[in-house]
Structure 1
Amino acid sequence: MVIAMNRKKGLIAALGLTAFLAIYAFLGFYLLPTLALKKLPALLQEKTGQQAQLSAIRFNPFSFTLAMEGFALAAKDGKNLVGFERLFVDLDALESAKLGGVVLDTIELSNPQFNIERRADGAFNFADIQAKQAEPEPETPDGDSVSLALLIHQIAVKEGRIGWHDAITGQVISENLLPLNLTLSEFSTQAASSAVGDLSLGLESGGNIEWHGDFTIAPLASKGQLKLENIGLARTWQLFLQQILPMEIVNGLLGLQVDYALTEAPHGLLTKVSNGNVDIKQLEITEKNQGKPLLSVPALTVSGISVDVNQQQVGIAAVSSSDAAITAWLQADGIVNYQALFAADASVPAAAQPVAPAVPEESKPWLIKLDELALNNYSIHFTDYSQTKPVELQLSDLNCKLQKFSTQDGGKLPLQLSSKFNNNGGLKVDGEMSLQPFAGSWALDIQDVNLKVFQPYLDPFLKLELVDGDFSGKGNLQLAVAEQLQLTFQGEANLEGLVTRDQVKNKDFLKWANLELAGIDIDLAKQDFKLAKVMFDRPYLRFNIKKDGQTNVDDLMVSRTPIEPAATAKPPAEQAAGKSAEPRVSIGKIELKDGKSDFADYSLILPFVAAMNSLNGEVSGFSSDKDAAAKLALKGKVYDMASVGIKGKYQFDNGDSDIALNFTNMPLPLITPYMAEFAGYRIEKGQMALDLQYTIKQGQLAVQNKLLIDQLTLGEHVENPHAVSLPLHLAIALLKDGDGKINLDFPITGSLEDPKFSIGSLLADVLVNLVTKVAMSPFKALGSLLDDDKDFSAVAFAPGSAELAVEESAKLDQLNKALLSKPKLTLEIKGIAYENLDWPAMRFEAVKDVLKKMKSGELRDKGEKVRHEYIELSDDDYKRLLAKFFGEVFPLEMDRSLLGKPRMKSNPDADFYPLAQQKLEGIFPPDPQRLNDLAIARANHIAQYLADPGGISKDRLYLLATELNNAEAADGIKSVLSLSASQ
């Protein structure tokens, strides 16, 4: 009975358990999944406002496993937002009970899909999800708060996909991240419980992302390794960066591997990065929307990266890159393209601009260390579009090396750089610089930089072509940015093979074989500029004066519209009162070797062209210091014939100078244009030597000219209305000595402070006065050959006589000697008869001539024909004919004595003949013919005396037209002599 009862109870219990299990199984396997499958999509749709789908739900109430399949959450437009193929969850009930929380053996998500879309208006598709806000739960005191323990032994996400669609740029850009695989082990919310996981993610466009590490939730911490392989930077730019970066990445692959450690701390999250390596390949960046290349980097490697955010430290073991090309340009508006690229977009409202976080006043600076930077075979191409003709500048084969940089040392950058400039020149930099404050010290070496490329910078100012020229220099440059810029340089430089061409005439203007600057010492802050030596090797300059007086230098200047200075604020009183330091300039020596020059003056009646060569010498002591004086010593040649020498000194402070200029063997025909301009004559022949000594002291000029002219011969006359009218031929003939040389020594003085002062005008005045004085007083010009106490311009005669007195003959002897030494001089003789002085002495001959005619008549009556001029009167004939002639003229005043002797009635006792002669002379008026014959005779006697025995060629003696003088001659009776020159 008892046994039966026990069996019955056991059976009832078994049936009850079976029924319970059946109901439990029914509820677990069927009812709950069915209800969940029916209600869950509606619930999700109600909560999110989106369409939800779920294909199947399977639950095993005995193993506590849940499987959901075919889930999708779609937006109103029908596009899926999120979904998965299968979600499997395995709950460990026993362990959960032991833990007092939730323990899951497995969570496995298969083929999950997430579709993220950013629309053209910037809104995301997930923004459409309108989650219903739950009523706030009553706050629980901190002490009563309970956190549910959670432990998941294994989490797996398999073959997931994340889709990204971006239309904000106006065109839809898509990218799929697949397959997404994630495994996590021992994930727990319990303290100090660490989960280990792996993540791998592929990009449809190429590349992989991998993560391996561990993390804890309480406290939040993680460490592990992140690895990126072959990430397409062009696609990354399209997807995420084109709204951020002002440039376009068109190519490039990114590789990244880094170890990290994150630790939660009271003041934030502590982050450390170590063993970081970045590898970028085939990077190409262009200007956005333009396609112009900006940067091409075939390879860039950054290794040994470490970052400690808490300690604010960054360390990099090495940065290396090679064969990169950088393109930059200066726009027409004067802004560099990179400056324009990174300028803030003015169209973005200020409110939209990101606000920088406030920086503490005393924030700890980051410590950055870089062991080595190596850039190899870089190239930089720069174009300046601000010029009318763009300028192309290129640095190629650029190698840069930087070692042991640390901001702890004041940011010192030990730098080594070398490069080619425009494929020919070279540039080397070796030194170091500091960033805070900026300062640097570099050894510079610049080699063979061709200047022709800089032609466009010259064009706005000069019509001058830079045909050739290479600049080189080396030295030490120190720079420091302070309140006053500190810049010093010590070194040397040279400019080799400079050739410039006048673009107006297409002729060489300035050139040299080499310009050497040695001992350069510059201190900008002190305004101190020193040069030990400047050497010009074979310099050449072409200088022309045009017809209008302008020069070829004036032609080279480009006319520019003057810019009116903008109004500036008045400086502070302290600033206005202060004076900037005057620059101090000193040059030890300026040396010229084998210089040449072409000079032409077309402003003259006849163009003047001269070539100077073999110019050698030096100028030393050039300085702006007070009392400094430069010493000059230069020598050269004109047309390889004339020698030119310059010696002396010049004081810069007050302009005092003492300079000697020496010309020897200067061919005078070369200066024909200046003679034609000055006096209207060419120069046919001659040489010149000039010793010029000029001194300037306290603004007063004193010039001593010593001029030797040899064999000067004037050529043909040149029509020039502006020429000075001077008797040059006479002056030259007078100034020449017996050897054909002219020696002149004359001073010039003047005041440089006189606004009308002109050394050219002074010199012209001196020459005009000299020539005029010589021509006006030619016999005084012969002072070295003649007796200055005598008047050699006249020969004295007795009244009515043409005979030379002894003393006049002696004077002609001296004149004869002078004329023999001046073969180009001719003597002009002017015979003069003085009526008032000569005729009284000539009337006796007039009376005697009548008596001869009376005698000739008597002889004719006797049958003899003798002309009166050949008759010589005897004393008896004279007295007889005189008495007869007087009786015929004055019959009432004469009678005869008993013996027949004639006598004067008024004075019978007086001697008749003298009284009769005197009375008869009174009836004869001056005879012009007799006076003219006397004048001729006088000139003839002078000429004959000089010719024989004097020895003067008769073709040098000229008798001028005679002169009859009716006036009184206070200085006696003279014939006038004058000098002229044969042409």
Structure 2
Amino acid sequence: MNAQSIRASKWVRRAAWVVLAVLALWLVGWLAVPPLLKSEGQKIASEQLGRKVTIGAVNFKPWTLELTLTNLAVATADGAGQQLHIGRIYINGSIQSLLRLAPVVDGITINDPSLKLVRESAGHYDIDDILTRFDRSSSKPAGKPVHFALYNLVLNGGSVDFSDKVVGKTQQVRGLTLSVPFLSNLDSKRDVLVTPRLAFTLNGSRFDSAAEATPFAQTRKTEATFKLAGVDLAPYLGYLPASLPVRLQAGVIDADLKLAFEQAPGASIKLSGTVQASHVKLADAKTQALLAFDALKVTMADVEPLARQAKISSIELTGPDLAVRRDPAGRLNLDFTTAPPAAVTAANGVAGDTAPAAPHAEASPWKVEVDKVAVRGGTVNWTDETTAPHAQLALRDLVFDAAGIALPFAQPLQFSGSALLDAGAPGAAAKGAAAQRSSLTFGGSATDRSASVAANVVTLPLSLAAPYLAAYLEPGLSGDLSAQLNVDWKAQPAGSQASGVQIGVKDLKLDHPALTGGRVVAKTPGRHSPAPALPGAGQIRVSDARIDLDQRTVRLGQVVVTDPHVSVERGADKRWMFEHWLKHPAAAPAHQRAALSRYAESKQVKPHTNPWKIAINDVAVDGGAVSYRDAAGPRPVAFDVSKLQVQLKDFSLDARQPSPLRVSASIGAGRTEPGRLEFDGNLGLAPLSAQGRLHAVRLPLQAFAPYFDNTLNVRLRRADASFNGRVHYLQSKAGPVVQVAGDSALEDLQADTVAQPAEGTQQPAIAAEPLLRWKALSVRGLDLAMKPGAATRVNVRETALSDFYARVIINPSGRINLQDLVKPKTPPGAAAPGKAAAAPAVAVAAASAPAPIIHIGPISLINGKVLFSDHFIKPNYSADLTQLTGKLSAFSSVAPAGAPQMADLTLSGRAEGTASLEITGKLNPLAKPLALDITGKVHDLELPPLSPYAVKYSGHEIERGKMSMDVHYVVLPDGQLTAKNNLVLNQLSFGDEVKGAPASLPVKLAVALLADRDGVINLDLPISGSLNDPQFSLGPIIFKAIINIIVKAVTAPFSLIANAFGGSGGQQLNTVVFAPGSATLTPEARAGLDKVAKVLTERPSLQMTVVGAADLDAERAGYRRERLNAMVRAEKRREMLLDPGKATASAAAAPASAASGATPAITVSQSEYPELLKRVYRHADITKPRNLIGFAKDIPQPEMESLLMANIPVTEDSMRQLALARGEAVKDYLASKQVPSNQLFLGAPKALADQAASSGTADAKWIPHADLSLATK
């Protein structure tokens, strides 16, 4: 076809026009679309966004449908900068858009997009205006979705800068890459698989992901992978809500996850892969460290959130460091339920960004399966701030493994672990890495309803408990604990107070437990004693124990205590050593007490009402030692227990059956050889009872003697007690039941008398002396039985006493001092008023109690010595009795036919080593009163050996002489005493007076008067009466009266004077009593002085010394009254001098004085006294009450007397003058009775202070007086 034919063809022409039209359209599009799109695009975009939008350049190729935009920018709200900038947008359209009537794009490429966002405040951003416009547009009803097909969507080089002014940080996204190969919702393209990819670097951390999905298919099937590498969480911490009880401080996230989503027929999401958090640090609400760990890796096999199922292959925690604290209020930092509520609006404003969660229906519980949980290199630090110092404990190198975890629990999970335990703050272990640390291993199984744990603790230091004990104990605690424990728990019904916890102890050891340090010694005033040893032990071991917290029962299989030692002490302040160990914690501050109270109320649990029940199968103590010291009394108590062995079986606090008990120990006191004690029997607590065989060898009873100082009148220096037999004790409701049967002995007894202090001083007036001594006292066949309501029975088969010594004194009342070894329970006059009412009841009870039944077998005495003194007769008789050997036959307290059973007594020996002694007769020491009929004889006793006694009591030595004495004592059953004492002194001769002797008697004259022409003094002293009230009748022997007169001449001369002149009250003649403040003799004083004057005139060899006495305190008021009376009398004397008439009348009123020639005494009548007192008051130079014009006003008589006496000075010199005046008054009166002046002497006056100083005592009932004393020329 040629060209003409072609032009003529209609189809050719049409094709040409189409081509031309297309070319024209391309030309128009190429020329018109870019400027139009730029201008209209900027305009429309600016209107839609409300921001200035600029486009740098537009390039459109209509023949290929390629559109390129460069430098697209969206300005900030203020127009000063760029909010968004895109370097280049390339769109490759497809002609299929015309065929499918839907946008079909073969490719979109966005290069170098850059977005800048600013957070201005909480919930407000710099693009809020744009978002508001979008919200308004989105409120329009949505139309039918637009179909599209997008291929090869690529975003390269993107960046995002997010500046947060609230938290002051900037987040940066760099290298943002997005690749979506295909995306379409066309019906024919919905099931096409899409594999998008997203990657970027966030603040230096790389994120990469890939996916395969059919997002617009009906199943929405999607599979995606996400990878995070080293995402540091620090920049995002400010966005966490402030209300969280736990705050994240640092952390790095790594993840490699795979997500699978499918919606056919229901939605399904499956997540798998690993997530790891590294270098995480968590803090509590107070920003204190709570938890930190090196890495937490979770490997997920299949996690389906929508189905609430999770299968986790492993959870691995490496290097965790958990800090558990308890604050001073008692709150745990892990107890978030009691944490203070967070503020409604947080400081950083993050809480304002969080909208409240919408309510949702209760979902089904999660089903979680974890194949393995592993913790490695863990640390747990415990700090308790409720103690002072703060308690600190650390678990280090913690290893924990668990497997088979399934929630809800289908089967128990199995777990195990181990750790090292350290005391002190974190890091302390590094300083002492070489030191041995305790370890903990554990393992078990658990469900949500039960758990069982087996733990093994090795060498746990007991010092860990020191901070908890420091508030209550002064000493610390040392030692190590090792234990194998089992703890079982079972869930209890809701609302139950039970814990469901049971603890089993397979084996528990305390190695070297002891209290250490601390100020635990009670200081005795004036003494410094070393610190006592604190309690401790070599080892305490407990095995097969079971503790039920709900049943409150403790069952111990075996308890073994090895080498325990304790020092039991009580100081002079009567406080035991443990009282010094205990502390009384200071009160906490008010705010802390309030916080503790609120916390306690939130955790309040009703207390248990059932007591704890404790049972022990076997208790053993081996090698125990006890040191006992008691300084509470006047004399300390000290003894030591060593080699203590105890074996107790089947023991329970509430058991009704006795428990077998074996005890053995050595008991020592002082330097003596320790004794031995062994017991093998049973012990019961309900009721208290003990029964078994007791074997004691030489127990030092002297160690316990100070406890009986208030009961006994002896000082036990040594006594070794032994016993071998059976004992039984039962504490019944009616009283104790006691049975003792066996042989006993008391060896090496040394008992002294009690030193009696002089009155008013602490120095002993009667020194202690040996009272009892013996080598051995053997009591065989002892059988004692005591039972409430029944008579006490005592049977003794035989008794032997060898090598004994006794100091025997018959006191003036006829009682033997050995009968008074026990002090009276209530001294006379010492009973308190409150106890007086109880005395009749006690007396009735004692009277109603049956009398004891005592049977004593034969008693043998071998080689004894008795220092005997008889103060019952006058003069006293003393003798040393040696080589005493004798026997007393059996006797009993039971009186057959009403008559006491009398035992035969035979005793022989030597008296003073020179005279023979023989005592025979019958007696019954158990009879009440004492029944006896005894004859004693001493012949030819040389008296010179008794010269020390003679010098002591008479002041003269005995040069020669012998004495023989026969005594016969008979005490009838009715208590009547008949005593015959015949004393014969032959050729008694005294020497000259011994200088410095304590006494001096005119014995030579007494001997000359008493002795017959042959030099023999024979005194026969018959005595009869009652033992309780002895009546002494003077016999025919006049010499006894002479001796009594001689004794009285020394001890009570004025009593002798009174008796000699037929008077009485001789003790009053040596004292002349005056009125307080006065030196005037009373009529009674003159009568007594008349007798003294008669004695002095009839005995010129006597001399009398008068000493006046006065007391400032006792006579202050009397002295002032006497001085006031003297001032009144002086005022009257002044008037008499001025008015002679009054002087004559006054003299007539006292005729007796005038007649005697003495100066007439001035007397003041009652009628004269008021007027004279006013004149004295008027003339007195004292401060007086004044009236308004300044003159002294009249006041009542009592006030005048009080005012005048208050201004009378009273000094010690005034008292000395008063005492001197009293002495002169007595002397002058005796002189007026014709007593020669050479027999009267005036001594130096004495005040009360002077007398107290000279005598060492002060009489509280002091009476004004003058003392008289006699002496020979």
Calculate the TM-score normalised by the size of structure 2.
0.56
2:242 and 2:342 in contact (8 A); partners too: no
Counterpart CA distance in 2 for 1:81 and 1:458 is: 67
Alignment of 1:842-853 (within 5 A): none
Kindly state the Cα deviation for residue 10 of structure 1 after the two structures are TM-superposed. Answer: 9.9
1:676 and 1:718 in contact (8 A); partners too: no
Counterpart CA distance in 2 for 1:487 and 1:833 is: 85
Kindly state the Cα deviation for residue 547 of structure 1 after the two structures are TM-superposed. Answer: 1.3
Kindly state the Cα deviation for residue 183 of structure 1 after the two structures are TM-superposed. Answer: 3.4
Counterpart CA distance in 2 for 1:599 and 1:648 is: 25
Counterpart CA distance in 1 for 2:706 and 2:462 is: 39
Counterpart CA distance in 2 for 1:79 and 1:378 is: 52
Q: Which residue of 1 aligns with 2:772?
A: 732
Counterpart CA distance in 2 for 1:240 and 1:177 is: 21
Deviations 1:89-110 (A, max 9, x none): 11112x2233342211011111
- Report which stretch shifted further, 607-616 or 21-30: 21-30
Corresponding position: 1:687 with 2:720: yes
Q: Which residue of 2 aligns with 1:397?
A: 397
Alignment of 1:90-105 (within 5 A): 90-93=92-95, 95-105=96-106
Q: Which residue of 2 aligns with 1:117?
A: 118
Q: Which residue of 2 aligns with 1:428?
A: 441
3-state SS of 2:192 partner? coil
Deviations 1:693-740 (A, max 9, x none): 45124231144677632122236855689999999979736xx5xx54
Tell me which of 654, 658, 681 is aligned to 2:691.
658
Q: Which residue of 2 aligns with 1:800?
A: none
Counterpart CA distance in 1 for 2:766 and 2:785 is: 20
Deviations 1:628-663 (A, max 9, x none): 322321111124721123444333333344366654
2:905 and 2:920 in contact (8 A); partners too: no
Corresponding position: 1:106 with 2:107: yes
Corresponding position: 1:741 with 2:777: yes
Q: Which residue of 1 aligns with 2:180?
A: 183
- Report which stretch shifted further, 27-36 or 345-354: 345-354
3-state SS of 1:63 partner? coil
Alignment of 1:231-242 (within 5 A): 231-235=230-234, 237-238=236-237, 240-241=239-240
Deviations 1:608-644 (A, max 9, x none): 2222110012122211445232232111112472112
In structure 1, give the amino acid aligned to 2:458: Q
3-state SS of 2:888 partner? coil
User: Which 5+ residue runs of structure 1 have no aligned equivalent?
Assistant: 569-574, 753-766, 796-802, 817-825, 842-926, 940-962, 970-983
Corresponding position: 1:784 with 2:888: yes
Counterpart CA distance in 2 for 1:838 and 1:378 is: 99
2:227 and 2:254 in contact (8 A); partners too: yes
1:188 and 1:195 in contact (8 A); partners too: no
Over 3 Å counting, the alpha-carbon distance change for 1:931 and 1:357 in structure 2 is: farther
In structure 1, give the amino acid aligned to 2:402: L
Deviations 1:337-389 (A, max 9, x none): 3445994743116997865554645x422111111111122122222222121
Alignment of 1:457-472 (within 5 A): 457-466=468-477, 468-472=478-482
Q: Which residue of 2 aligns with 1:899?
A: none
3-state SS of 1:112 partner? strand
2:169 and 2:235 in contact (8 A); partners too: no
Q: Which residue of 1 aligns with 2:635?
A: 606
Deviations 1:647-695 (A, max 9, x none): 4433333334436665422345544644666557654444232569451
Alignment of 1:514-593 (within 5 A): 514-560=539-585, 583-593=612-622
Deviations 1:290-334 (A, max 9, x none): 775443433332224311234321011122233333333222222
Kindly state the Cα deviation for residue 66 of structure 1 after the two structures are TM-superposed. Answer: 1.5
1:792 and 1:815 in contact (8 A); partners too: no
2:276 and 2:298 in contact (8 A); partners too: yes
3-state SS of 1:31 partner? helix
Over 3 Å counting, the alpha-carbon distance change for 1:501 and 1:18 in structure 2 is: closer
Deviations 1:50-92 (A, max 9, x none): 2222111222222222211111212224343333111111111
3-state SS of 2:38 partner? helix
Alignment of 1:799-838 (within 5 A): none
1:294 and 1:327 in contact (8 A); partners too: yes
Over 3 Å counting, the alpha-carbon distance change for 1:358 and 1:814 in structure 2 is: farther
Over 3 Å counting, the alpha-carbon distance change for 1:768 and 1:260 in structure 2 is: farther
In structure 1, give the amino acid aligned to 2:313: A
Output the aligned Cα RMSD: 5.2
Over 3 Å counting, the alpha-carbon distance change for 1:933 and 1:48 in structure 2 is: farther
3-state SS of 2:772 partner? helix
Counterpart CA distance in 2 for 1:495 and 1:227 is: 56
Counterpart CA distance in 2 for 1:838 and 1:109 is: 146
Alignment of 1:215-614 (within 5 A): 215-219=214-218, 221-235=220-234, 237-238=236-237, 240-241=239-240, 249=248, 251-264=250-263, 269-274=267-272, 276-281=273-278, 283-287=279-283, 292-339=288-335, 343=339, 345-348=341-344, 355=356, 358=359, 360=361, 363-410=363-410, 412-422=412-422, 424-435=437-448, 437=449, 439-466=450-477, 468-482=478-492, 483=496, 484-490=498-504, 491-501=506-516, 503-504=518-519, 505=521, 507-560=532-585, 583-614=612-643
Q: Which residue of 2 aligns with 1:152?
A: 150
In structure 2, give the amino acid aligned to 1:270: S
Over 3 Å counting, the alpha-carbon distance change for 1:44 and 1:964 in structure 2 is: closer
In structure 2, give the amino acid aligned to 1:253: V
Deviations 1:883-926 (A, max 9, x none): xxxxxxxxxxxxxxxxxxxxxxxxxxxxxxxxxxxxxxxxxxxx
1:702 and 1:747 in contact (8 A); partners too: no
Kindly state the Cα deviation for residue 791 of structure 1 after the two structures are TM-superposed. Answer: 9.7
3-state SS of 1:526 partner? coil
1:598 and 1:611 in contact (8 A); partners too: yes
Counterpart CA distance in 1 for 2:682 and 2:507 is: 27
Counterpart CA distance in 1 for 2:141 and 2:203 is: 48
1:433 and 1:441 in contact (8 A); partners too: yes
Kindly state the Cα deviation for residue 593 of structure 1 after the two structures are TM-superposed. Answer: 0.2
3-state SS of 1:216 partner? coil
In structure 1, give the amino acid aligned to 2:400: C
1:227 and 1:255 in contact (8 A); partners too: no
Calculate the TM-score normalised by the size of structure 1.
0.71
2:209 and 2:226 in contact (8 A); partners too: yes
- Report which stretch shifted further, 529-538 or 50-59: 50-59
3-state SS of 2:534 partner? strand
Counterpart CA distance in 1 for 2:454 and 2:219 is: 53
Tell me which of 63, 84, 90 is aligned to 1:82.
84
Counterpart CA distance in 1 for 2:410 and 2:979 is: 117
Deviations 1:929-976 (A, max 9, x none): 66998874789xxxxxxxxxxxxxxxxxxxxxxx9953699xxxxxxx
Q: Which residue of 1 aligns with 2:193?
A: 194
Counterpart CA distance in 2 for 1:167 and 1:806 is: 123
Q: Which residue of 2 aligns with 1:918?
A: none
Task: Kindly tell me the number of residue pairs found equivalent between the two proteins.
Answer: 807
In structure 1, give the amino acid aligned to 2:537: W
In structure 1, give the amino acid aligned to 2:177: L
In structure 2, give the amino acid aligned to 1:612: V
Counterpart CA distance in 2 for 1:567 and 1:340 is: 18
In structure 1, give the amino acid aligned to 2:745: L
1:659 and 1:694 in contact (8 A); partners too: yes
Alignment of 1:203-214 (within 5 A): 203-214=202-213
2:752 and 2:772 in contact (8 A); partners too: no
3-state SS of 2:580 partner? helix
3-state SS of 1:511 partner? coil
In structure 2, give the amino acid aligned to 1:86: R
Over 3 Å counting, the alpha-carbon distance change for 1:103 and 1:558 in structure 2 is: same
